[in-house]
Structure 1
Amino acid sequence: MLLRSLTKHVRDQNWFAVFLDFFIVVAGILIAFQVTNWNEERAERRAEFGYLDTLEQDTNESLIEIAEITAKAEIQEKARETLYEYSIGTRSKLDPDKAVELIEAALWSFPSVEIRQTTFETLQGSGRLGILANEDLVTALQEMAALVEETETEKQHELYALERFGDPLLYDHVELAKIMGKPGLTDSVVRVPWLKELPKIEEIPAVFKTLQFRNSLLMRSALTNERKATYERMRLKYIEIGALIDDRQQELGVD
């Protein structure tokens, strides 16, 4: 219809009408492009809504994980301090059964943290990090990923120390049935369920007074505190991420 009108106006040399027809065509094309862009932008923002929501869930769950691992690390440190004081003689009395139970936290257990990065990894893996319009949020998420890698390296260092120095000491000198026969710091179930009767420890193993024992405590303590420092940096970074998510949700009108 418009083409027929344009042809007629050209034939009649009605240039104003020709100009008007061209204007209508161009305007229609521009409006169509703009509507398409608006629809695409709305779709992007809807997708961002969803990703912000799951990022918030990841952040909250990771903060809980960090709080739990930090609390367990504090229990470990208290156990190490008690055993070290006994070893050097500043603590004269320690119940033998209690001493072996403290070993479970001090040298046997190895709590580790599971940071939830599902949403970040999905966005990064698909090349869609740009859907998050807040550049500060993207930067903070990338910095958190680097901290997760850092704590994984620290974890491997402590695992090496445990296997190289702690485990041989325990295997040779400690009644492990006291540890295996009940839930521990990192286990909610008994490690060896068929251990029904746990031995009574009459005296503290002599190895508790040795330099090797004290050095094992100190080595694990130093490595645990290194990880604790990283956990604190992660906690603060997640608080920052949570605030950035809230800011962006408010910009988008999300409660």
Structure 2
Amino acid sequence: MAEGKAPVFLNRIAAHLRDQNWFALVAEFLIVVSGVFLGLQAANWKEARQEREDEAKILTRLQAETGTLLEAVRQERAGLQARADLYVQAQDVIYTSANPRELTPEECNVFAASHIHRLAADQLPIVEELLATGRFDRLKDESVKSQLRRYILFRDRERANHEERTNELFRLYSRHPDAIEIAALPRMADTELDWGFLNNPDLRFAPQCNVEEMRANQQFLNELFDNMGRNGHVLVGYEKREAILVELQQRLDELLKS
């Protein structure tokens, strides 16, 4: 009740009491109670509408960010799969005598870079924002909330796995220079492999692999196997991440189309 109207209301109540006008007194109370109730209802409706509008914005943004992340995950996974395919393609050359030949430049390169494992794309900024601002429960769909909790748990576990996975890697060209040499080669075309990034117009730097030295060095073979195995574990993680994001995206599409 407005401050200026309170004395007027109280004066009317006092007058009804003096006159013992019970009907008017009850009517006054009913009017006041109805006004308070309607005011609270209006405030609740407004708040509920704002929450629905906020949830719709959250879902729209979450759908867009999930799509962007899913595209990045698929691109990174494709790169890892290409590495894995080259590993498989060259294993007979290194570990058996079934396919005696030199390594291709692509195979040699993937062996030389087998220690490189970058942190996977995993960010959904809207989720971090919701958790930081306490608005996670603005999401009313339990399926979406459950999938997001599942993704957060998976993401945190994979980040810990990455730290462990990269704690002790074997940089093979440094540890076994007789097996893999980083050589300065004449530059013939801009499309050739170049590790130097030095913009030298005449020279490029690229790994050169000695298959005989690789095959004769058991320590090299063991360390290469370790690096290849880590790539396989990372690839499995990407497959799981993609599956979780696809499921989340499908549910978001359903909600936003309804």
Q: TM-score range by the shorter chain?
A: 0.7 to 0.9
TM-score, normalised via structure 1 length: 0.81
2:86 is equivalent to residue 79 of structure 1: yes
Q: Secondary structure at the match of 2:236?
A: helix
CA separation of 1:104/1:58 partners in 2, compared to 1, >3 Å: closer, same or farther? farther
Match of 1:204, as an amino acid? N
- Secondary structure in 2 matching 1:89: coil
Cα RMSD (Å):
3.1
Give the strand-richer structure, 1 or 2: 2
- Distance in 1 between residues matched to 2:178 and 2:92, nearest whole Å: 22
Q: What runs of 5+ residues in structure 2 fail to find an aligned partner? A: 1-7
1:161-176 → structure 2 map (5 Å cutoff): 161-162=168-169, 164=170, 166=172, 168-169=174-175, 171=177, 173-176=179-182
Q: Distance in 1 between matches of 2:207 and 2:55?
A: 59
- Using the TM superposition, name which of 90-99 and 233-242 deviates more: 90-99
Q: State the one-letter code of the partner of 2:99.
A: R
C-alpha contact (below 8 Å) 1:177/1:199 kept by paired residues: yes
Instruction: Kindly state the Cα deviation for residue 100 of structure 1 after the two structures are TM-superposed.
Output: 2.8
Is 1:34–2:41 an aligned residue pair? yes
User: Which residue identity is paired with 1:70?
Assistant: R
The separation in 1 between residues aligned to 2:136 and 2:98, in whole angstroms, is 56
CA distance 1:220–1:192, change in 2 (3 Å): same
Query: Counterpart of 1:90?
Result: 98
Of 209, 218, 222 in structure 2, the residue corresponding to residue 211 of structure 1 is 218
Q: Which residues in structure 2 correspond to 1:73-152 (within 5 Å)?
A: 73-87=80-94, 88-95=96-103, 97-104=105-112, 107-152=114-159
What amino acid sits opposite 1:28 in the alignment?
Answer: G
Residues 10, 18 of structure 1: 8 Å contact kept: yes
| Change in CA separation of 1:236 and 1:22 when aligned onto 2, cut-off 3 Å | same
**Structure (1 or 2) with the greater helix fraction:** 1
Amino acid at match of 1:220: N
Do 1:63 and 1:235's aligned partners in 2 also have CA atoms closer than 8 Å? yes
The 1:62–1:202 alpha-carbon spacing in structure 2 relative to 1, beyond 3 Å, is: closer
**Which 4+ stretches in 1 moved above 6 angstroms?**
181-185, 199-203
- Residue 120 of structure 1 and its aligned partner are, at CA, apart by 0.6
* Residues 79 and 102 in structure 1, CA contact (< 8 A), matched pair in contact too: yes
TM value normalised by structure 2: 0.80
